[in-house]
Structure 1
Amino acid sequence: MADHYYTERPTVRSDKRTIAAELRGFRFQFTSDSGVFSRDGVDYGSRVLIGMMEIPPAAAILDVGCGYGPIGLTAARLAPQGHVTMLDINERAAALSRENAALNGIGNVTVQTSDLYEAVEGQRFDVILSNPPIRAGKAVVHRILAEAKEHLKPGGSLWIVIQNKQGAPSARAKLEELFGEDAVEEIGKDKGYRIYRAKLV
């Protein structure tokens, strides 16, 4: 079976490439590779989330499923007095995120290989960000949403991007079940991608 980007140790041969991207007014160089999500460029869903996410300058932030780092590293630039913890089950993706943090001179990040929230058990954050791995299945996506609640500080927010045709309505329903209808808001949409924010009140 071919590797998926949520494979722990991709076996596909390494084929590194460099990507230039401008995100939230910051210029980045990213090293990408085979066996990671959206290796040829920052995907549209991540760009939509990055464009809409609200990051307090001193926030403790968690990026779940960080890939090679565009969401978490942009958050780190937006929170110069804060800190971003970046997690991915894919060891190659986590290594690339570390490499890309160094490449872009970003020091306020910690990158860990982790199956969802495993590496941050007992920790709580002001902001959790995720472009969830839709291909891993609905059960995994809903675990990301459910376990986020246990890792948010009071008043903290979960931000996710999800495509309409890939389960946005069911994700919203799950968020409302977890956080309460009044705590969930659609912040915006773009080309079928929806950005939801769920607040722990």
Structure 2
Amino acid sequence: MHTPDASDHYFTARPASADERRSVAVQIAGRDVTVETAGGVFSPDHVDLGTQVLLRTVPGPPATGDLLDLGCGWGPVGLTLALSAPDARVWAVDVNERALDLVRRNAARLGASNLVAARPEEVPADVRFATVWSNPPVRIGKPALHALLADWLPRLAPDGDAWLVVGKNLGADPLQRWLASDAPDGAGLGLSVERVASAKGFRVLRVRR
């Protein structure tokens, strides 16, 4: 798995202070809400366009089970999962401590008590996910991204699926080919991959066991 350091765009060791946090009005799960964000996390001022495309494309999440937001940032995907499926357990996973602190704050603010914000190593190894929704951190580079997905996609439940949004200009099509061919051969994942949407320069990929 990608090991971040202090220079990594996606890694901030320190939670934001009260002075650094700011309130932003967004829409989550069809609700107009106010969340806390801060510099040092991805897209701190709004729900980024790729995530918007993802959330407009995916069907409603499973009502129960373990659900995963991989690379949660301040929480737009994980909060959507948690509010849409209140009887499920939602794991919001990130390596950025600032992001994890923000998503915990936002879950508490919105009453999403079923959301668990965690570093990757804090998720029990035996957890299997009914679905994974992710705007993955493609800018960590292709080897690290492949390692990240090879770590997590095998943890789909037998009937589970993953929904990934990736910019076309950031390698969506090569990633789709890798998931469909090299990844199963290299990791025994047995994946099927289809492009289910293409909008505003982004591809949404559905990955199944």
> Partners in 1 of 2:16 and 2:141 — Cα distance?
22
| Partner residue, 2:49 | 44
Aligned counterpart, 1:134: 138
**What is the DSSP-based 3-state SS (H/G/I as helix, E as strand, rest coil) of the residue aligned with 1:56?**
coil
1:110 to 87, 110, 116: 116
Report how far residue 189 of structure 1 moved.
1.4
* CA deviation vs aligned residue, 1:38-96 (integer Å, no higher than 9, x gap): 01111010111111223122242011110000000001111122110111100000000
Mapped partners of 2:146, 2:114: distance in 1: 29
Return the offset for 1:129.
Answer: 1.5
Aligned to 1:150: 154
What is the root-mean-square deviation of aligned Cα atoms in Å? 2.2
Q: CA deviation at 1:25?
A: 1.5
Alignment partners' CA distance in 2, 1:196 and 1:160: 5
Alpha carbons of 1:20 and 1:154: their partners in 2 closer, same or farther (altered >3 Å)? same
Contact 1:3–1:11, Cα closer than 8 Å, also in 2: no
Identity of aligned residues (%): 36
Secondary structure of residue in 2 paired with 1:35: coil
Partners of 1:11 and 1:72 lie apart in 2 by 19
2:40 matched residue in structure 1: 35
Q: How many residues align?
A: 196
Q: 1:27: Cα distance to partner?
A: 2.4
- Unaligned 5+ residue runs, structure 2? none
Give the alignment's TM-score, normalised by structure 2: 0.85
Return the TM-score normalized by structure 1.
0.89
Amino acid at match of 1:32: T
Residues of 1 paired with 2:15 and 2:80: CA distance?
29
Compare 17-26 and 124-133 and name the one that shifted more.
17-26
Higher mean C-alpha deviation, range 127-136 or range 21-30: 21-30
Amino acid at match of 1:162: V
1:56 aligns with 2:62: yes
